[in-house]
Amino acid sequence: MRFKPSYAPGPTDVRENVRLALAKKTNNPDFDKEFVHYYHEVCQKMGQVMGTTNDVLLLGGEGILALEAACASLTEPGDRVLVLDNGIYGEGFKDFVSMYGGEPVVLSFDDHQDIPVQQLRDFLEKDHDFKYATFVHCDTPTSMLNDVNQISPLLKEYGILTVVDSVAGMVGEPIDVDQNKIDICCGGSQKAISAPAGLAIVSVSEDAKKAMNDRKTPIASYYANLQIYLGYREKGKLPYTMPAAHIEALEVALDNILEEGLMAVYERHAKIANAVRTSIQAYGLSLFLETGRSNTVTAVIIPEEIGALTLQQHIQETYNLYIATSLAQYTDVILRIGHMGENAHFDKVLSVLTVIENGLRDLGFEGNGHLGQLFLDAYRAEN
Amino acid sequence: MRFKPSYAPGPTDVRENVRLALAKKTNNPDFDKEFVHYYHEVCQKMGQVMGTTNDVLLLGGEGILALEAACASLTEPGDRVLVLDNGIYGEGFKDFVSMYGGEPVVLSFDDHQDIPVQQLRDFLEKDHDFKYATFVHCDTPTSMLNDVNQISPLLKEYGILTVVDSVAGMVGEPIDVDQNKIDICCGGSQKAISAPAGLAIVSVSEDAKKAMNDRKTPIASYYANLQIYLGYREKGKLPYTMPAAHIEALEVALDNILEEGLMAVYERHAKIANAVRTSIQAYGLSLFLETGRSNTVTAVIIPEEIGALTLQQHIQETYNLYIATSLAQYTDVILRIGHMGENAHFDKVLSVLTVIENGLRDLGFEGNGHLGQLFLDAYRAEN
Amino acid sequence: MRFKPSYAPGPTDVRENVRLALAKKTNNPDFDKEFVHYYHEVCQKMGQVMGTTNDVLLLGGEGILALEAACASLTEPGDRVLVLDNGIYGEGFKDFVSMYGGEPVVLSFDDHQDIPVQQLRDFLEKDHDFKYATFVHCDTPTSMLNDVNQISPLLKEYGILTVVDSVAGMVGEPIDVDQNKIDICCGGSQKAISAPAGLAIVSVSEDAKKAMNDRKTPIASYYANLQIYLGYREKGKLPYTMPAAHIEALEVALDNILEEGLMAVYERHAKIANAVRTSIQAYGLSLFLETGRSNTVTAVIIPEEIGALTLQQHIQETYNLYIATSLAQYTDVILRIGHMGENAHFDKVLSVLTVIENGLRDLGFEGNGHLGQLFLDAYRAEN
Amino acid sequence: MRFKPSYAPGPTDVRENVRLALAKKTNNPDFDKEFVHYYHEVCQKMGQVMGTTNDVLLLGGEGILALEAACASLTEPGDRVLVLDNGIYGEGFKDFVSMYGGEPVVLSFDDHQDIPVQQLRDFLEKDHDFKYATFVHCDTPTSMLNDVNQISPLLKEYGILTVVDSVAGMVGEPIDVDQNKIDICCGGSQKAISAPAGLAIVSVSEDAKKAMNDRKTPIASYYANLQIYLGYREKGKLPYTMPAAHIEALEVALDNILEEGLMAVYERHAKIANAVRTSIQAYGLSLFLETGRSNTVTAVIIPEEIGALTLQQHIQETYNLYIATSLAQYTDVILRIGHMGENAHFDKVLSVLTVIENGLRDLGFEGNGHLGQLFLDAYRAEN
C-alpha cells in the first residue's frame, strides 16, 4: 500500500513529533497511579483547548463514540430530543436518540445555509419541551459551520441541554465550551487536532451530570456510558485499558497547538480557508454553501460533465493524492478540500490546488487563470 | 513519568518493530479502497492466528468492547443467557446480558478449579434453554484457564451459541475457534498478541450471524453493534475512521507470531509458565489455583503478614518494576506475574523473579534457596 | 528549526522505513561476531547495487572520506596521478593527491561538456605514466555526468588504476564497477541511495589492493586507511565502533532499491530528468550543460537580473522549500534542482517546479506557459 | 540478528527519546544557515557538559577520529611528543604521533595504578621539551582512571600542550576542560553520553589553535584536519555533509544529562561503581586495578580455570547478554562490566550482576553469598 497524502476533511496529517510519540514504550495504564494522574492531566489540557473547566474524558474509540456516548448517557425511554438538521451528520443524531429509546424531533433547515438563529428562536418559543438538543458545529459533508456561539446559549435559555458535535470543528474553528454553554461537547483526535485516530473526546457539564444522576433507568451501555467513566475517575481509576500511546501522542499534538497559540491556529485556518474560497470562485468553480462556510473544509461543486467521483479517482491515480467527495446525494456533486489541522498550511494547500487544477484540465475543464496562482494571490492579499 | 517495565497480565511489552510501525504515516482509512482491502487482510491474518475462517472484525476500542459487542448483538429482551462463572471476569458477563435486556442465569463453580465439564454437562442435561452461553478462556484475576476445547463444543451440542472471552488467552494458550465451535470469540490487541492497546477483536460464526439476522428488535447500539460492522464490510466500507496506525501495528505483531510459529509460541509460554510455577512452589510460596493454571499468568498467594499490595508497592518504588496484584476480594492476597506474549521470555522472567525474591526478602520473607536460581533450574530441566 | 523539504542534489529525502530503522536498538558493533557478519552482508548488498564482487567497505563518515581514503591509500610520495577535470569536484582531487605526497597532473576540459573520450585517448597515447587517475561520475555543482562506461576501461588499457567519485551518481545513473573496471569506486549514503548522511562507501579491486600491498611507505592515516579496514575484515573484526544504526538504515534503503529493481530505478531517474530538462527549456530557461546532463540533478541558468541566490532565498522564505544554487564562480548563476533517489518522484518534482515557477514570477520573470504543466506534459509524453 | 542487551564499556544503551530523535526528518545540513547555526548550538551545549568555552567540534565519525585529528593537527615532522602510558589505549597514541611524522617518547607506568603524578613531575623536571603530551582519562581495557585534574595542569606548567582521550570518561567521570587546562579534549557520542555511535568530539583551546597556525607544514589530512573545521566554522559553513540526524540525537542526549544535572550524573556513576566494586570483592572475585578505578567500567579478574572468554560466551548464549572481556594480553583474563551513561542504572546493573553470578555458577564457580544481593546491600548502604 503506497502512501498517498490525503486532503480529506480528516484524518489529517499527523506531525512527526506526534507520530514518534506513538512509538514510545508506555507504562501500565490499568493500575499505575502515575498513569491515571497523567491521563487526567491530558484531559485537562484537552479542556484548555476546548475552553472549558468541565470534566473532559478521552474515550478509547473514534469520534462517533463520543456522539453515541452523549446520547446513550442522556436519553431515557420517552425523552423528547430536538435534532437540529442542516446537513448529513446533523440529521444522523436522530438514530442515536431512537436507539436509546428517545423521541427525536427533527427540525430541518436549508442545507445551503447555517442554522438561522431567529428561525430557531421562533420554533423554541412555541415548543421547548426537550431534554436536550443536538447539532453539528461543522458538518463536513457540506462543509457547513453552525454558529455555536449563538445556538447553544439560545437553547440553554429554554432549559434545554445541548450536545454539540464539534468533531470536525474544534481547533479549526473557535469554540469555547464554557462561554458557549455546551453541556456535552464531542470531538475526535484525528481532525483539526491532528493526532492519530483512536480517541473520542467529550466534555461533560454539571447540568449534564445531574441529568445522568437523575435518570430513572440505568444507561444501557458500558463502553458508551459516561457515568461509568466519571465514576471510575472519582475513584482514581480507569474503566478499561486505555490506549496509552495515543494519550501520549494526543498530548504532543495539544502541545503543538498551544505552542503555536490557539488564536494563531484559528487565524491560520481562516487565512487558508479564505484564500481557498476566493481562488476557487475566481477560477470559475462554485462553492456549495451560501453561508456558514467552515474554515476547516471547503465543499466545491464539480461540473456535472466531469463528476466529483471521476475527478477524485483521476487525481488519486495520476497524482497520488487523496481528496474526498461527499456523502449520500452529494457523493458525485461535491469535492471536499480538507484544510484543517496540520493540513492547513500554505505550502500543502498550494500543492493540492495545483493538483486539482491539473486534474480538472486533464478532464477537459479549463478555468480562469491558474488555481494555484489565484490561491497564492488571494493568500498574499490577506497579509 | 519514568518508564517502569510491567509484568502485569497485560498490557504486555510491545516489540520494537510493532511500536515503530505505529509511527508510520497512514493512508486515509475512511474511503481509501486500498485501506479497506488492507484492513480485511489483517482481519484474516488475525483469524489465522485464532484458527478460524469466520469473519473477524477489529473494532476501534479496548477488549471489553468485544465482550459488550457480543452481548449487545446477540441479546434480545427476555433472552435467557447462561453465564459460566469461576472467576471475576466470568461473573462479569451477567451485567452485559442484563444491560441489553437479557436474563442471565449464572452457573458458579469453585474459583480454585477450572470449570468441571461433567458438572456442566449434568446441568445442561436438565436445563439448556439458552440463546447463548458465556465463559472466560483465561480469567486473569485468578490466572484461571478453562478448557475451551471441551466447554464450547459441549454447549454447542445443546444448540447453545457460545461467547468466549479469550482476551487474555489467545496466542498464549491454544485456541482454535473453528474446531472449538466458538460463535463469538473475543480478544484484545494488548495481551499475548503484544500489540498496543486500542483494538478489540471478534470472530463471528454463521450461526451468530443468523441469530442477529433473526432478531425481532434492533440492536441497541452503534459502536458495539456487530451487524453494522458486518454490513459495512459487505459494502467494502468501514463504519467509522479506523485507527489505521493500530491496524498496521497489529499486523506486524501477528507477523512476529507467525514467524516464530504459533506452536512454538504456545510452547514458549508453557515452558516459562511451568518453570515459574515449579520455582514459586519450591521457594515456599503457594499458587492460588488447584487446577486450570494458565500459561499466561501465575497467581501467587502472598503471605498475609506481608500482603500483596505492600509487596507490589515496595517493588515498584525500590526496583522500578510493575507487578499486578488482583481484584476484588483477592486484591491484597494474590500477586500476579504476567508472562504472556513478549513478556514470556526467559531473560525477562528471570529478572522479574529475582526482583520478587529481593522484594520479599526486604520485607522479611526468606524462602528456600533463590527464586531466580530455582526458575533457572526448572527451566533448564524442561529442555 | 522548522522542517523545509530540500531538493538540493543531496542529502535526499529519506524514506520512512529507513528513518524508522535508525531508531532501532542495535547490538554491540564492536565485538559481537553476529554484528560483524551482518556488517559484511550489508557491504555485499551495497556491492550488488554497485555491480561488483570486489570488497566493499562502509566507513563511518561522509562521502568525502571515501575520496580521501582512496587517495591516502594509493598515493606514495612522488607518485604521478592523473586528475581529470571538467567540474568543481573533478579538480578537487588534486588537493588530496598533493596532501599525501603525490604529484597531480590535472587534465582540464570544458566545463560544459562531458569528458571527451577521444581527446583523453590522444592525451594518454603521449603520456600514461600514472599510478592512478581520478574523475567524477556526476559532478553535481554543474550536474555533469561523465561516461564511466568508457573512461575507466580506457585508463585501464594503459595500466592506470582508476578512482571514481560516484557519490552523486550511483543508483541514479547506471554504474557497473566490475564491467567499468573501476579500482576504487566512492559513494555516500545520502545521495541517490537515500539513506541518512553518515556512511562513506568504497569498493576496492584486487589491483588496488596489490598497489597498497606494494607500497614502500606506510599509509599516513588511520581513519582513511583502507588497508586497516581490509586487515580488520580478514580477522573478522572492525577497526572502530561502527555507527550500527546507520548500517541497518542503509540496508533498508538498499532493500527499497532492490525491491523496485535497479533498472526501474534508473529508468525512473531518466524519465524525471528528461521531463525536467524539456520543460525547463520549453519554459524559456537555459540549461548550463551542452552534453553530459546527469539524471540526478539539473543545473539551470537563472537570468542575471534575478540571480540564483535571490531566487533561492525567496523560495526558501516564501515557499518553505530548499533548492541549491552552485559553488565557486557559479554560485549566483546556477540553480540546481536535485532529483535523485527518493526525490526523483513525479509528484515531488511537479511540486518543486510549480514553486520555482511561482518564485520566478514573484521576482518578475514570466516564462512560456506553466512550468508545472510543461513538466506534466513532457512526463506524460514519455509514457 | 536478535537484540542482545550489552554491558560492554560502550556503546551504551541509547534512551528512547534519543533514538526516536534519530528518526526525524532533517533539514539540509550542507547549506542551510539555520542548520549551521543549530550545529553550533549543539557544539556549545557539548562544551557546557565538558566544562569549556573553547571551540567544540563534532566530527562525522567515531571517537578514534577525534584522537587522530588531534595528533594530525598538532604534529609536524620531527616534533617530540610525550605519550603517557599505563594502559592499552594510552600506548596507542604513539602510532598516531609517528604516522604524522612526530617522534613519540613513551613514558610507561604500571598498568595496575593510575599515573603517579609525582613520578611524572620528576620526569618532566629532567625532560620537558615536548610540543604536546597525550594521555587517557579512562583507559577502558583495564578500567583505568587517570587524574585529569592534576596531570594536564602539571604538563601545562611545563608549557606542554595536552591531548586527552576522554572518550570513555566524560559525563561518567568529572572533567572540566577549562579548569583542567586541556588543549584538545577528545570524546565520542556512544559512551557515557549515550547517544548513537557516529560522532567524534573535540574541544580546541586557543593555545592549540595557535600551534596549528604556527605550523610550517600543512596538515596532511582533510577529514582529520581541525584547522579545516575551524576555518569553515568561521565562514558559517561546514566542511562536508554532517550526519544531521546524529546531531539532533546528540542534543537530546545532552538535554537528558543536563536535565538530570551533571553532578547528579557523576554521583549516579559513583554510587553504582562503588557498589559494583564492593560486591565483586565480597563475592570473592578480584579487581584488576589497585588504584585509579573508573566509575564507568569495572575490570574483574576471572579465575583462570574458567577464563573470561568462556564466561562471556556462556553468558551470551545462555542469558542473551553481552559483556566484554578485554584486549591484547588481558583478553582472557579480564571481564569488563560497563556501567556508564544509560547503563549506569541500579535495576540494569542488578540484573547484569545476577546474570554473571548465574553464569559463574553454571561454570563451576561459587562465590560467597549472592552477587546481586551483595550489590543491593552495598548500594543501599551508600544511601
CA atoms of D196 and D191, how far apart (whole Å): 9
Give the closest residue to A98 by CA, choosing from A115, A112, A79, A85: A79
B328 has a chain C CB within 8 A of its CB: no
B311, B320, B377: which is closest to B350 by C-alpha?
B377
Could you give all domains of chain A from N- to C-terminal order, each with its CATH number? 16-259 (3.40.640.10), 261-382 (3.90.1150.10)
Residue B372 to residue D358, Cβ atoms within 8 A: yes
Residue D8 C-alpha, separation from nearest chain C C-alpha, in angstroms: 8
Binding site residues of C for substrate, as ranges?
336
Instruction: Judge: C197–D60 Cβ closer than 8 Å, yes or no.
Output: yes
Q: Which chains reach chain A with 3 or more Cβ–Cβ distances below 8 angstroms?
A: B, C, D
Mean pLDDT of all residues in D193-211:
98
* Residue range A226-236, pLDDT digits in tens: 999 999 999 99
How far is A252 from chain D, CA to nearest CA, in Å? 13
**How many whole angstroms separate alpha carbon C128 and alpha carbon C145?**
24
| pLDDT at A1 > cutoff 90 | no
Task: Show residues of chain A in contact with C355, CB under 8 Å.
Answer: 350
Residues B41-76 pLDDT 10s: 999 999 999 999 999 999 999 999 999 999 999 999
Average pLDDT taken over every residue of chain C? 97
Q: What would the pLDDT profile of A162-206 be if each residue is shown by its tens digit?
A: 999 999 999 999 999 999 999 999 999 999 999 999 999 999 999
pLDDT at A226: 98
**Chain D residue numbers touching C245 (CB-CB < 8 A):** 19, 22, 196-198
pLDDT, residue D382, reads 86
pLDDT at D2: 80
Closest C-alpha to C85, from C71, C113, C106 = C106
Asked if the model's pLDDT at residue D1 lies above 80, the reply is no
Residue C32's pLDDT is 85
**Cα–Cα distance measured from residue D379 to residue D275, given in angstroms and rounded to the nearest whole number:** 5
In the predicted model, what is the mean pLDDT of residues D205-227?
98
pLDDT at D279 over 80: yes
Q: Which residues of chain C neighbour A361 with C-beta distances below 8 Å?
A: 373
C320-332 pLDDT, tens digit each:
999 999 999 999 9
Backbone phi, then psi, for D368, in 5-degree steps?
Answer: -90, 120
Tens digits of residue pLDDT in A266-324? 999 999 999 999 999 999 999 999 999 999 999 999 999 999 999 999 999 999 999 99
Is the model's pLDDT at C352 over the cut of 90?
Answer: yes
CB pairs under 8 A between A and C: 37
User: What is the residue-averaged pLDDT of chain D?
Assistant: 97
Report the residue count for chain B. 383
Supply the mean pLDDT for chain B: 97
Asked if C376's CB is within 8 angstroms of A358's CB, the reply is yes
Rounded Cα gap, residues C350 and D211, in angstroms: 53
Residue among B3, B27, B60 minimizing CB distance to A61:
B60
- Whether the pLDDT of residue A383 is over 80: the answer is no
Residue B273 has pLDDT above 80, yes or no: yes
pLDDT over threshold 80, residue D383: no
CB proximity B27 to C under 8 Å: no
All three cell numbers of D347, joined, read: 535495576
Q: What is the pLDDT of residue C30?
A: 87
Q: Does C17 touch chain A (CB under 8 A)?
A: no
Q: Do B320 and D347 touch (CB under 8 A)?
A: yes
Please give the grid coordinates belonging to residue D142.
583495564
A263 pLDDT above the threshold of 80:
yes
- Rounded Cα distance, D187 and D189, in Å: 7
Q: Residue A317's pLDDT is what?
A: 93
pLDDT of A148 strictly over 90: yes
Q: Is A16 on the interface with D (CB under 8 A)?
A: yes
Percent of chain D with pLDDT over 70: 100
Tell me the per-residue pLDDT of C193-204, one tens digit each, with 9 for 90 and over: 999 999 999 999
Query: What pLDDT is recorded for position A362?
Result: 93
Confidence of residue C229 (pLDDT cuts 50, 70, 90): very high
pLDDT single digits (tens) A65-119: 999 999 999 999 999 999 999 999 999 999 999 999 999 999 999 999 999 999 9
List CB contacts of C339: < 8 A, sequence separation 6 or more: C7, C269, C272, C273, C276, C295, C296, C297, C298, C349
Distances from the Cα of B130 to the Cα of A373, B98, B158, angstroms:
69, 14, 9
Q: What is the pLDDT of residues C241-286, one digit of tens each?
A: 999 999 999 999 999 999 999 999 999 999 999 999 999 999 999 9
Q: What is the model's pLDDT at position A42?
A: 98
Burial class (CB in 10 A: 0-12, 13-18, 19+), D366: exposed
pLDDT for position B1: 74
| Residue C318 C-alpha, separation from nearest chain B C-alpha, in angstroms | 26
**Is-above-0.80 flag for pTM?**
yes
Is the model's pLDDT at B342 over the cut of 90?
Answer: yes
**Segment D142-172, tens digit of pLDDT:** 999 999 999 999 999 999 999 999 999 999 9
pLDDT of residue B322: 95
**What's the average model confidence in pLDDT over C140-151?**
97
- CA A57/CA A44 separation, integer angstroms: 9
Q: Which of B16, B319, B373 sits opposite D347 (nearest CB)?
A: B319
The Cα angle at residue C365 between residues C359 and C366, in degrees rounded to 5: 100
